[in-house]
Amino acid sequence: MNILLHGINILPEFHAYIQQLIQVFEKQGQGVWVTESLYPSIRDTGSRKSISVLPEDNTGMETMDFVISIGGDGTLLDTISRVGSWEVPVLGINTGRMGFLATIAKEEIALAAQDLLAGRYALEDRSLVCLESSIPLFDGLNFGLNEFTIHKRDTSSMITVHTYIDGDYLNSYWSDGLIVSTPTGSTGYSLSCGGPLISPIARNFVITPVSPHNLNVRPIVVSDDSEITFNIEGRSEKFLVSLDSRSTPIDASVELKIKKEKFVAKLVKFPNYSFFDTLRQKLNWGYDMRN
């Protein structure tokens, strides 16, 4: 197999864990690759001679059997953007803080690698949000695992986002912005703005306003077969749109449409994984003396 490792600005205290991971794969005769952003973290290890570096343009991604994301949830989102329509399975190792997506602790690296090589895993398909726009945006990477967001660009007045579902008028949101989240992204920015938690295998989008001026405006869950379009108004000439952690300014003349992407993100999950266990642990549910 060909296994790609990806990480961004890995702290020195985690380098030994990366070396441990590489050694497990090398011992089993697997081909190990790293991205250019991860290579400085393994450059001074004894394994560097047997490791290939994937170019920044991702040439060769289609030959990978697995991609291992080393970092936090942000790194895993970046990994998904690199994998794109190749749908290479992604495993997230958590060296960050929250870890809703990257769920493997650094102490479990060796066991996770062994389970992966032995086939003791399942693949979980996660839907992606797709942006269609009247001008090219995001260098062709017009999809995201978590959410699409419209946001005011500065700290001045709010914006108005006129929103339509399959051509039918939904609402005009007077707010700082608007989020369209996938089920995976329901534990991210949407959650912090009061959006509901959605099971990752649900077939929905969540539309969540950011700091709405009208207090009776609430998030709404719609089918992910829907096409969502917008008209934006505001005193500023520019607004920000983002896909996960990538953002770019636009003006109100740009036409925007959100729908479900044709391909999915495939996340590697091991038998002891439970989404609901993760929720309880990360959100501290049940920390009550009565339990």
Using DSSP's 3-state secondary structure scheme, residue 275 falls into: helix
pTM: 0.94
pLDDT for residue 284 is more than 90 = no
- DSSP assigned state of 284: T
Alpha-carbon gap, residue 65 to 86, rounded angstroms: 10
pLDDT tens per residue across span 209-251: 999 999 899 999 999 999 999 999 998 889 999 999 999 999 9
Proportion of the chain above pLDDT 70, given as a percent: 97
Q: What does the pLDDT read at residue 44?
A: 62
73 catalytic residue (yes or no): yes
33: tokens are 């690759």
What average pLDDT does the chain have? 93
pLDDT for residue 21 is more than 80 = yes
AA identity, residue 106: K
pLDDT tens per residue across span 165-216: 999 999 999 999 999 999 999 999 999 999 999 999 999 999 999 999 998 9
* Residue position matching structure tokens 């405006």: 217
Q: What does the pLDDT read at residue 282?
A: 87
**Which of the pair, 286 or 149, is modelled with greater confidence?**
149
- Could you tell me how far CA 227 lies from the centroid of its own chain? 21
pLDDT tens per residue across span 106-117: 889 999 999 999
pLDDT tens per residue across span 119-178: 999 999 999 999 999 999 999 999 999 999 999 987 778 999 999 999 999 999 999 999
Using DSSP's 3-state secondary structure scheme, residue 124 falls into: strand
| Other Cβ atoms closer than 10 A to 12 | 7
Q: What does the pLDDT read at residue 45?
A: 58
| Geometric angle at alpha carbon 133, from 128 and 137, rounded to 5° | 80
Task: Please state which of the ranges 41-45, 98-102, 263-267 shows the lowest mean pLDDT.
Answer: 41-45
Q: What does the pLDDT read at residue 46?
A: 56
AA identity, residue 132: E
Catalytic-labelled residue, pool 44, 57, 65, 73? 73
| Other Cβ atoms closer than 10 A to 157 | 12
